[in-house]
Amino acid sequence: MVTIKSEREIKLMREACKVVAQVYDKLEKVIKPGMTTYELDQIAENEMRKLGAIPAEKGYNPGIKGVPPYPATLCVSINDEVIHGVPSKHKVIKEGDIVSVDTVALKDGYNGDAARTFAVGKIPKETQRLLDVTKQAFFEGIKYAKVGYRVGDISHAIGEYVRSQGYSVVREFQGHGIGKEMHEDPGIPNYGKAGRGLRLEPGMTLAIEPMVIAGKPNILELEDGWTIITEDGSLAAHYENTILITKNEPEILTLL
């Protein structure tokens, strides 16, 4: 069910989302070659708890037989890992890597969700272009995150922009509504037909998240039941924010 947030709920959403933004501000400053993804995860969890929130992803149960609850605060996905990379003491971040990080903070009963892809040290221009296109795809999508438009208008704008830049969007995973639950209706794919889907109303809070692959869109799931990689080994990037539909322009809640 799609939830329309009250003024009180919107205030609480803003607080949860501010925590996520502050966590990313911290991670951007500390991420460097030689760190393990486990170390990055510990920094994020400490920061989140210091800010009065708890990591909503930690212990998240997907309800899929044979897949264990998620063990960490962050999803940390490197290079050809698209999403849901599990932090590890054995996975070391290297110069030239791109590192996609996704996290959800739960504060006072409400969730904030965002993702970023960080460049570690110097990266090639073409790799930076992938990061730039992925971020811009989000902003192309939220041009239609306004009253009177439909979810499909957001999806279409993201997909067409990414395609026009020569990249692919992930089709098996999507954005979503968010509030008391980490994942609420509606689902928000990164492709689709304009004019389709739920009509947007003030008070809706949505997590919009382009997941972009430099090569073909095909993906594979690793044996851990979580990590998703590109089938052809090409690089992938991820950019996400939680937004609020207002009577005017959308408000991005997970930016400082």
Question: What pLDDT, in 10s, does the model give residues 28-58?
Answer: 999 999 999 999 999 999 999 999 999 999 9
What single-letter DSSP state applies at residue 245? Answer: -
Tell me which residue range forms the domain holding 219: 7-248
Position 175 in a domain: yes
Position 129 in a domain: yes
Please tell me the predicted confidence (pLDDT) of residue 62. 87
Domain count, the chain: 1
- Cβ neighbours of residue 87 closer than 8 Å, sequence gap 6 or more: 36, 37, 38, 40, 41, 71, 72, 73, 74, 76
Q: Residue for token digits 């760190």?
A: 35
Position 112 in a domain: yes
Position 162 in a domain: yes
Position 90 in a domain: yes
Q: Strand order of the sheet with strand 168-169?
A: 168-169, 211-213, 236-238
Peptide bond into 189 cis (omega under 30): no
Position 63 in a domain: yes
Position 201 in a domain: yes
Position 1 in a domain: no
**What CATH number corresponds to the domain at position 205?**
3.90.230.10
At 85-104, the pLDDT tens digits run: 999 999 999 999 999 999 99
